[in-house]
Amino acid sequence: MATFSGLHLLFFSFFISTGTISVVSGTVFTIVNSCSFTVWPGILTGNGAQLMDGGFALNPGASVDVTAPAGWSGRFWGRTGCNFDSSGAGSCITGDCGNKLKCGGAGGAPPATLAEFTIGTNGGNDFYDVSLVDGYNVQMEITTGGGSGDCQNVGCVSDLNANCPNDLRVSDAGNVVACKSACEAFNKPEFCCTGSFGKPETCPPTDYSRIFKGACPKAYSYAYDDASSTFTCANANYSIIFCPR
């Protein structure tokens, strides 16, 4: 599929209702925080206005429903360690989207775990995945509800921060808070799948991506990890769960 991970980005137009969601039809995303700490979800849409203005705070145990129309394509991620003032200005230790609460069209700074979707039209398949191409910061799972087809629950439920290689670690106050991708850490074509490595035949898995894949078999571990990482479902609603239990 076309994902929102650096190398490939697919744009669609859409309409939304912000605040309390009141759209009559569409795909419902239920964003759930099962972590013991606050998560600040970020949302990036390919084109047009942003769902929920692109970001908000989600306390432990809380959930929010967000509705998107047919044809919508975008990504969700979790920001951690954020501190915002009453005007929404501030920053996050991981996943920051430009020093603001409402990302408003800005993407999250890597490393960040991503949930990526392209919603079908006219009853066609949705395509979805959890991606570690931009690295990892928090456990995440996508679960499906009410759909038809091969509707699998997918994600990265392992704590990669605890098992992150030393040269990929991002630390704050002595704690590992995120795990970079090898591309982000080293910026070399063989890790980023660029230049002469810019196609599947010349950009195989690396020792680093295999660590990600071993921990999270149903998540994208590098740019050309499509075969075991992209999933489909039709006419479903989805839950995006941080720190699934």
Asked if residue 65 belongs to a domain, the reply is yes
Q: What is the pLDDT of residues 127-155, one digit of tens each?
A: 999 999 999 999 999 999 999 999 999 99
Under 8 Å CB-to-CB from 99, ≥6 apart: which residues? 89, 90, 91
Asked if residue 104 belongs to a domain, the reply is yes
Q: Residue 26: what pLDDT?
A: 86
Number of structural domains found in the chain? 1
Asked if residue 167 belongs to a domain, the reply is no
Asked if residue 57 belongs to a domain, the reply is yes
Asked if residue 166 belongs to a domain, the reply is no
Under 8 Å CB-to-CB from 232, ≥6 apart: which residues? 125, 126, 127, 128, 149, 150
CATH code for the domain in which residue 132 is found = 2.60.110.10
Give the mean pLDDT of 43-55: 87
- Categorize the per-residue pLDDT at 125 as very low, low, confident or very high, splitting at 50, 70 and 90: very high
End-to-end Cα distance, the chain: 28
Residue 145 to residue 152: CA distance in whole angstroms: 10
| Residue 1 pLDDT greater than 90, yes or no | no
Counting every residue written for the chain, the total comes to 245
Strands 175-179 and 169-172 turn out to be antiparallel
Q: What is the pLDDT of residues 3-25, one digit of tens each?
A: 444 433 332 333 233 333 333 36
Asked if residue 193 belongs to a domain, the reply is no
Q: In which domain, by residue range, is 134 found?
A: 27-159+217-242
Lowest mean pLDDT among 8-22, 73-87, 90-104, 131-145: 8-22
Residue 166, Cβ neighbours under 10 Å: how many? 6
Q: Residue 49: what pLDDT?
A: 67
- Categorize the per-residue pLDDT at 63 as very low, low, confident or very high, splitting at 50, 70 and 90: very high
Alpha helices in the chain (DSSP H): 182-186, 189-192, 207-215
More confident residue, 14 or 61: 61
Q: Residue 25: what pLDDT?
A: 64
For residue 75, list its beta bridge partners.
44, 116
Residue 162 to residue 237: CA distance in whole angstroms: 31
Is residue 239 within 8 A of residue 30, CB to CB? The reply is yes
Q: What is the pLDDT of residues 174-230, one digit of tens each?
A: 999 999 999 999 999 999 999 999 999 999 999 999 999 999 999 999 999 988 899
Q: What is the pLDDT of residues 159-173, one digit of tens each?
A: 999 999 999 999 999
pTM: 0.88
Asked if residue 100 belongs to a domain, the reply is yes
Give the mean pLDDT of 70-86: 96
Asked if residue 179 belongs to a domain, the reply is no
| Residue 44 pLDDT greater than 80, yes or no | yes
Report CA-CA distances (Å) from 239 to 111, 117, 156, 178, 216.
22, 12, 14, 23, 18
Residue 108 to residue 90: CA distance in whole angstroms: 14
Is residue 65 within 8 A of residue 22, CB to CB? The reply is no
| Residue 86 pLDDT greater than 90, yes or no | yes
Q: Using DSSP, state whether 201 is helix, strand or coil.
A: helix
Q: How much of the chain is helix, strand and coil, in % rounded to 5?
A: 15, 35, 55
Q: Using DSSP, state whether 44 is helix, strand or coil.
A: strand
